[in-house]
Amino acid sequence: AQSVAQPEDQVNVAEGNPLTVKCTYSVSGNPYLFWYVQYPNRGLQFLLKYITGDNLVKGSYGFEAEFNKSQTSFHLKKPSALVSDSALYFCAVFTSGTYKYIFGTGTRLKVLA
Amino acid sequence: EAQVTQNPRYLITVTGKKLTVTCSQNMNHEYMSWYRQDPGLGLRQIYYSMNVEVTDKGDVPEGYKVSRKEKRNFPLILESPSPNQTSLYFCASSFSGGNGYTFGSGTRLTVV
């Protein structure tokens, strides 16, 4: 069965420091991997995706994610965090075999001034 | 503006009173889906549709119905709502399954 794990409920980081939000997945077949962000009282917004190619994917708002096939991970990263990055982040996986998306449980990022 | 529109944004209803949450997209997307978001559980897929008249169950379909008579609309129907369906609901659409979603703003449903 497909699954996505976000092992940290919350990540705290100081403004200006690098941030990492972790995601691991378990699928059969080649995954399509996504990161979404949710600000309070808003819907989810697409940040970036990996389908194939370069393992480092760049997305919106200065975020990037690194695909690691051997560790089945897709961690979200940003070199320098902003207070405005504070939000709820979701990792998701899609496979063409099942034609379904599976989301992780979300990680709340708090960037402290 | 390309968007997914859900209505209503907030709804309080009583147990057993049928309701419909509407979802419409203006991007000619083929793939549409409904999710519920609950604390600690993330987003769970209720139903999805790959195209007009093609729908399938997600992970938590019990107590819900959907229809896809037109490409742009994908309503979620609760025939007899119960308190355990109190949740935040999101509609989402995608050009195809692997393209990434555009989400609606959400519907916060309370069943008393």
Helix/strand/coil for B12: strand
* A103: nearest CB among B4, B43, B50: B43
Please check whether residue B68 is in contact with residue B21, taking contact to mean a CB–CB distance below 8 angstroms.
Answer: no
**pLDDT (tens digit per residue) in B70-91:** 999 999 999 999 999 999 999 9
The pLDDT assigned to B40 comes to: 85
Q: What tokens were used for A7? A: 């092992």
Phi-psi region of A53 (alpha: psi -120 to 50; beta: other; left: phi over 0): left
Query: pLDDT higher for A109 or B2?
Result: A109
Q: Which of residues 32-91 of B touch A (CB under 8 A)?
A: 33, 35, 40-45, 48, 50, 58, 90
In A52-106, at which residue ranges do the beta strands (DSSP E only) sit? 56-58, 64-68, 73-78, 87-95, 100-103
Touching check for B103 and chain A: CB below 8 Å? yes
Residue A62's pLDDT band, with cuts at 50, 70 and 90, is very high
Using the predicted structure, report yes or no on whether residue B5 has a pLDDT greater than 80. Answer: yes
The pLDDT assigned to B98 comes to: 77
**pLDDT (tens digit per residue) in A74-90:** 999 999 999 999 999 99
Strand (E) or helix (H) holding B43: strand B42-51
Using the predicted structure, report yes or no on whether residue A113 has a pLDDT greater than 90. Answer: yes
Chain A residues with beta carbon closer than 8 angstroms to that of B103? 36, 43-45
Using the predicted structure, report yes or no on whether residue B97 has a pLDDT greater than 80. Answer: no
Q: Please list, residue by residue across B55-80, b when 16 or more beta carbons sit within 10 angstroms of its beta carbon and e when fewer do.
A: beebebbeebebebeebbbbbbebee
Percent of chain A, pLDDT > 90? 78
How would you classify the pairing of strands A107-112 and A10-14? parallel
Nearest to B8 by CA among B112, B106, B110, B111: B106
Is B41–A100 a contact, with Cβ atoms under 8 angstroms apart?
Answer: no
DSSP code of A72? T
